[in-house]
Each structure stands twice: as structure tokens, then as C-alpha cells.
Structure 1
Amino acid sequence: MISVPPRLRARAAAVWGAEGARWADALPATAADVAARWQLTLGPAYPPSLNWVARARRADGTPAVLKLGVPSAGHLAGEAAALAAWAGRGAVRLLARDDERGALLLERAEPGGTAAALVPADDDAATDALIAAIRRLHRPAPPGVALPELAARRGAFAANLREWPGSVPVPLVRRADALFGELVAAPTGRVVLHGDLHHDNLLRAGREPWLAIDPHGLVGDPSYEPAALLYNPLGAAAGAVGAVDAVALLPRRIERLAAGLGADRDRVVAWGFVQAVLSEVWTADTGGPPDGRPLAVAEALLPLLR
């Protein structure tokens, strides 16, 4: 039997209410059931976030990762659809899925270790690894792919202003909302997006030098993709030893991303601002502890907007 970390139980209840609490209560039984049906030997769990994720080994000895989440939330279905569309190109492979139980079986990237370990000592190498991943992942969205549109994320700004006004500075939320509308109205293409590609979601691997994990799964403008990495890696708390000063790294990151992706610099800046504000909105709206580093990046990018 697995144990459910108190932090995971609390986060599930905070985000999904009673349903999240019921999911956490049923998690040991769900894990045991899925492991039996997929013939898995479960190993140690990874640090908890919004899902329960653990090392696993298949019947043939192949290493894998088992990921369980609240089934009705739909986020694991989006992850599965994105991974299926990429079919192992630039990302871990999807080995099996069970939408009814909110379960995914994934390729394990080995030796592992994230691109965050390169920052700040070799931030250029980390940025280049993310650029290479984006170039591998971005392919035209196949017809009928079961993924939401990037444009759907815009609704979070209006919800924040309506339900939690002032939790994020209102002028920034309004500016990000308007800019989001302008950017999605004039996309530079339409591809399958990771939607949360940053240093902690890129792992060292053997099959390819780096493989992406944990995609949100979206369809939309490719120039949106590097936005999340501008305020990452978060790692240590702001002001603590080991915290990354993302603001100081911004100018070089922006120039390197624009050159490496063949992207318009102004769009890199604009999407970076929008996503940094959106990150703060998500945190505020789900009751997460304030961090402030995405907000600091947004404020640093604000004078660069055109």
C-alpha cells in the first residue's frame, strides 16, 4: 500500500474540493489496481505536486513512470494526447493510458536530471536545450487532435478580475488580457504545444539528449512556447540561497530564444509578459502560496512591450 503525502492531499482538496479529497482517499487502492492490471512493480514516488507520480518497472523489466491524477480534471487526457501526437519525438513516450482511473504509464527518462541544474552556472546551455526541445516538439497540429486551443487560457484573466480582484495587480492583469487577445488573433502558426515547457520539465535521457515531460497539451501559436521558461526555474524560494534571479537573465535569454527559434523578439517578450502574469493568476486563483518571481519578470518585461 502506498501512503498519500499530506501535501498532495491538501493540494488536491484545494484545487478540486471534495472530489480531490475523495481521489486522494482512494489513491492507494487505485494505484494497486492499475499496477496489477498493467503488471507493474512500483518503486518510490517522486515529490508530490498535483498528481501522484512514482517509479515503476514493467513485467519485462523496462523502467517506467506511473502517473495518477483526478480523472475528471482532464489534464492527464491532455497530456496523453500531446504525447501521442509527438510519438516520442522530443518527449517521453506514452506507454498506456486509462482515462477512467486518471492513469498514465510513461517512458522513464534516464539518467534523468533536469535542465534546472544548469542554471545559473550555464544558463546558455539550459536555454539551448529548451530551444532544441521546442524545435523537436513543434509540428503542425494533426486534424482532430483532442487538445484545447491556446486561446482558452485567456478566460483566466477575466475570472481573476471578477472573482479575486487585486490578488494580482489589476493593471497588469488587464494589460496581459488585452495583449493575449492581440497575440492569438495573429498567430505565427498552429502546432501542438507543450504549454508548460521550462527547466524542470526537461530531463536528460539516453534515447535523445533531452526529453520533455508533463505537457499540458494545447494547440496554437508556436511563439507562446518559450514564455514559461523566462521566469523559471523557480526552485528555492525568492530571496533564499540558491534562488535564480530570472530578471537578470532575461535580456540574454530573450535574444537567444529569438535567434534559436527564428522567432520575432517582440513576440517572445509579449508572450513572456502574458504568461508571467497568467502564472501569478493561476497561483492566486488556486490558493497557492505567493512567490512573486513571475510577477517580477512581468514587471521587467512591461517596459519592453511594443
Structure 2
Amino acid sequence: MPAQPGQITIPERLAGTVRAEQGEAAPALLAELPGRFAEHLGRWGLVLERIAEPGGRSSLIGYVHREDDLAPAVLKATPAGSDQEHAALRQWAGRGAVLLLDADPAAGILLLERLHGDIPLRSLAEAKAMLEAAGLLQRLWVEPGASHPFTPLADRVAERAELLRARRDLAPEAAPLIDEALETAGALLAGATEQHLLHGDFHHGKVLAADRSPWLAVSPRPLVGERAYDLARLVRDRLDTLAGSPGPRGATRRRITQLADAVDLDPDRVRGWALFRGADAGLAALAAGDRATAELCLEFTGWL
């Protein structure tokens, strides 16, 4: 018998994210999500095994199998819609990323190949994980096509820059750093010439072990733009480890150089995007009330 909406619970991690991001709309979005999830179990002939706990921060994840052949899969439901994720996964067609099996984009529902959700790339030692990550990114950076549906990098940066300005007063002591980040992003966009499909949120937690390939990327927030932007989020990975290293400023610069060299990119452009994205992450954490993360991100930004 298919699972009923009342049997599907929303993990608290997801509920917290929806409340923080959607404000007054959150209760309605959370209330209708189990019904939408259950509807697609029946529509696609799926049996729910369990809901992933603590699960993702932005999606309801269910481990499922098909009724007819017992093939394992994952059903993913996004409260505010899946945006362009399905289009990116379809374009990659399993090359470097999780395979899309079916999709209802209007409902924010994706049916995905099942990976090993409990084995992320960060389970490897840092040096090995960074090497694997760099190689995987190069498989994802493809031409987007003439009529692609993906958000231009300039639009995403404009959106984040507006938020940075609006949140600037949350950290008055970091105002010079915020100003530098905004100025740097503007200069980078002015000099950008590349048009690649980007993952948009690539880090060790968004890469999982798989059966048909050692590692595959999941949960993209796709963009079209220059590759250095994608690499910049990876620079900030394992930030607590970086902060605890002897001479974190030098360690950060070495990480940038090593990653940029691995994919043949200009380390100055990687550093610039890491500066902008670090400042953005710091003020976003402050706005969400997470002061510890905010202070670490802003400290990292200062190293750059």
C-alpha cells in the first residue's frame, strides 16, 4: 500500500531551513509537501522504504524502490520547486552527476538514482578529496547549449550582492571587507568571457559515493558562467580544519593555487570569487542567527 501523507514526516533540518528562507509562506509549504510526495509515490509506482534523517537542508529525501522490479532509487521533493536542477541533471546524463530517472519540475519532484548517502567525499582525507573534486568538476563543466534555461552567473551575483549590501550593517567591523568583496565581484564579471554550465554549489558534501562511478555530484544550483566561480566554494570546504592549521592564511593561499593548477585556472580569479562567496556566506549566516559560522566565514574572507 502506498505511503499516506500522514505517514511522511518532515525532518527538522529541512523544516528549519524552510522557516528561515520562506518566512510566512513556510507553514503552507511544509503542510503540503507530504501530500505532493505521496502523490508521486503512487504516480510512479514507488514503495517508500524510509525518509532520510536528518536529510537535506533544502529537500525532502525518501529512499524508495519500484513496485515492479524493486530497483532502488531516491525521491526528492523541494518545497519551493526544483528550479533548474532537473535540466542540469538531464544535460549531464549521469556523466559526473547523479542520474535523473524521472522528473515533475512544476511540482518540484525528482526521481534519482540511489547513491550512498552516508558516504560523502569529505569521508576521504583532504588531499585525496580535493583531487577527486577537481577531477569531477572538469566533467561537469560542459557547454550549456544555445537555448539553455540556466541562470547567468551575473544574475546570481547581482542577487547576492544586493543581499550583501542590505546585510552590511549586521557586521559593521567587516564593512571594508564587504566593500572589497563587492568591488572584486564587479571587476571579475567585467572581465569574464567563459560560458560553462556550473554546478553552482559544489563542495565535498555535494559529492557522494556511487556504484557505477566512484563519486558523483548531487543537488546542483546550476548557473552559466566562468569556472572559477564553481571552484571558489570548494576553497572554503573543511573550513574548521583550515582555521586550525598552522598559518591559515598561507594554507588558504596554497589551497587556492593547488586547486587552480589542477584545473588550469587563474588563481587570482579563484581567490576573487572565494572572497565574494565567503563574505556572502558570512553575512547570510549572521542573518540566520548562526554567529559561529558567520565569524569563521568572515575570518576566512579576511585571509584572502
Q: TM-score, normalised by structure 2?
A: 0.87
Match of 2:160 among 136, 156, 161: 156
Match of 2:265 among 242, 263, 272: 263
Over the residues paired in the alignment, what is the CA RMSD in angstroms?
A: 2.2
Q: Deviations over 1:272-295 (max 9, x none)?
A: 11111122233334x252313222
Q: What displacement does 1:90 show?
A: 0.4
Residue identity (%): 31
Which contiguous aligned blocks of 4+ residues in structure 1 show a shift greater than 3 angstroms? Answer: 242-249
> 1:48-197 residue pairs with structure 2 within 5 A?
48=55, 49-59=57-67, 60-71=69-80, 74=81, 76-110=82-116, 113-118=119-124, 122-154=125-157, 155-162=159-166, 165-167=169-171, 169-197=174-202
- Cα distance in 2 for partners of 1:166, 1:111 equals 36
- Cα distance in 2 for partners of 1:81, 1:152 equals 18
AA matched with 2:267: R
Q: Is the 8 A contact 1:230 1:297 kept in 2?
A: no
Moved more, 96-105 or 276-285: 276-285
Aligned counterpart, 2:208: 203
Q: What displacement does 1:58 show?
A: 2.2
Aligned with 2:134: secondary structure?
Answer: helix
Q: What displacement does 1:233 show?
A: 3.2
Aligned counterpart, 1:284: 286
Q: Is the 8 A contact 2:33 2:79 kept in 1?
A: no
CA 1:164–1:111 in structure 2 vs 1: closer, same or farther (change >3 Å)? closer
Q: What displacement does 1:80 show?
A: 1.1
Q: TM-score, normalised by structure 1?
A: 0.86
Is the counterpart of residue 298 in structure 1 residue 298 in structure 2?
no
Give the count of matched residue pairs: 288
CA 1:174–1:137 in structure 2 vs 1: closer, same or farther (change >3 Å)? same
AA matched with 1:228: R
Match of 1:216 among 210, 213, 221: 221
Q: What displacement does 1:260 show?
A: 0.8
- Cα distance in 2 for partners of 1:194, 1:283 equals 22
Q: What displacement does 1:111 show?
A: 7.6
Q: Is the 8 A contact 2:119 2:208 kept in 1?
A: yes
AA matched with 1:157: A
CA 1:255–1:10 in structure 2 vs 1: closer, same or farther (change >3 Å)? closer
Q: Is the 8 A contact 1:127 1:256 kept in 2?
A: no
- Cα distance in 1 for partners of 2:108, 2:22 equals 14
Aligned with 1:165: secondary structure?
Answer: helix
Q: Is the 8 A contact 1:147 1:217 kept in 2?
A: yes
Q: Is the 8 A contact 1:9 1:21 kept in 2?
A: no
CA 1:244–1:210 in structure 2 vs 1: closer, same or farther (change >3 Å)? farther
Q: What displacement does 1:144 show?
A: 1.5
